[in-house]
A and B are shown apart, each in its own frame.
Chain A
């Protein structure tokens, strides 16, 4: 498993136990010259805005007149008075809960098949990866809208089996699932990461398992799956963070409204609407803070759960 740890993603923290060869004095001056752009960026574009966002979330601010202190009124409105906000939460959590596991399942499944030493690996890998590269494009969202239109190609296909499909995009029952499907279609990038992880598993382990009389299913359960847990975990966290922030497809497919009947009102879409359409910057800042808290909590929970299911091979427990 040492080889998986050599993967940059899982590299040990910087500088631990490394000998400083020859340099005894700290190079603070030169170093901060190199760091200058990043330091400016993090102060002005990251840390400053985060604090500003926290302050603004406690005010009413319309961008044109000075912010008016409001205390926790924005948060109170979010949690107790805004039914659309709950709808946005529901839509977003449904999307995350469906798209993340399904996407990872497809990514892992295809990666396992592609890892079987078949010829044409490069070709398949590229073809399966391509959609995740194009995925965020407006053009792809427009295309998806047409595929799932009432007279679109999906219904055309269903008609071959005598099924009269609904108008997916304009039916509140189904609209969100078309977006889930779009997300699953883009399983290529976690798949590529899985493939890289599978390559790191030493052949000896499979040989040893074979000597012990393990069949393919046992090999998968006892060798592949445990050794792959760090990669599964990494993909899971990345997809989780990304899925909570989904925006473009829902904006394009619903024409910026989150419709039909708010069925695709993603969190980010509602935040955009409140901030940049209604100019309720304070309210939108409160939403942004809750989003940070949600993403922080879910990734935190993921990290805590990792103790129980993520195995690093050379670790004894």
Chain B
């Protein structure tokens, strides 16, 4: 039966994250973007909220909650409302936790998961994207080839968050049986972590290029099982993050438009501005509902990992594409509503536009 209301527990989680986002993350966002640094005290405080590690089974020291894509979407939206770069930093460990939870065997889980229940922030990450035109997660250029008992990884990756400090690195590559994920220790010969990347937005997030040159792994490094459900979780996460960024821009532009006066009235009293805001409000809700539906479908277990296009893939892809377009339009409108002031870095809207532009590019950069 149709219901648009999250459970009380989910609302409580959302409120908690929203409070943290508003009080702790948002005030740090501007400086983090300017300096490229996220205060470690903030990261530690967020870690103590437990959002990253909550889904780790009790056996490995976690809280053992069922990983809900919907709850994850709520968390993503609130964090991204405060700041996308910081959000992605805080969520990075999930890039390795969730796949290991979903696909890892006992040995792999024991090897990886306990690190993320330690009292201090532990970085983990995954390398999905590749620096080339037409990047397609279904047809990776990075290869995994068998060499006797071992696996050799070759290729280049980009946008790998926190790679330089990650305890575990999950590398996605094309194997004989399709796309697969491999746990790669950071000191594996042949793995070179490049310089920190310089991007248009998300400047506070440390991302890296990787080169893999005959990077040799034991067969046990491979996570077995289909990745499409994980990709869908990633698409839901990205959609929810996009909604958060857009909502931030909308809130700010709305408040500004009520304050700013031109030609004798608040600019919000001009239809040209008011209608932009109304449209932004509709599109944000539209994208959020599409995201929620995809998340709900994943949680309802309708996401069957059997085929490439199955279960929630359609919903997740539609939501992701929709949200990526939406966030660009909304953040651009926000800059426009602030006029010249929107172009100046004292106001955050230009940062949100720079961040928002990335969503069409991002793939596998977050996980719920």
A interacts with B = no
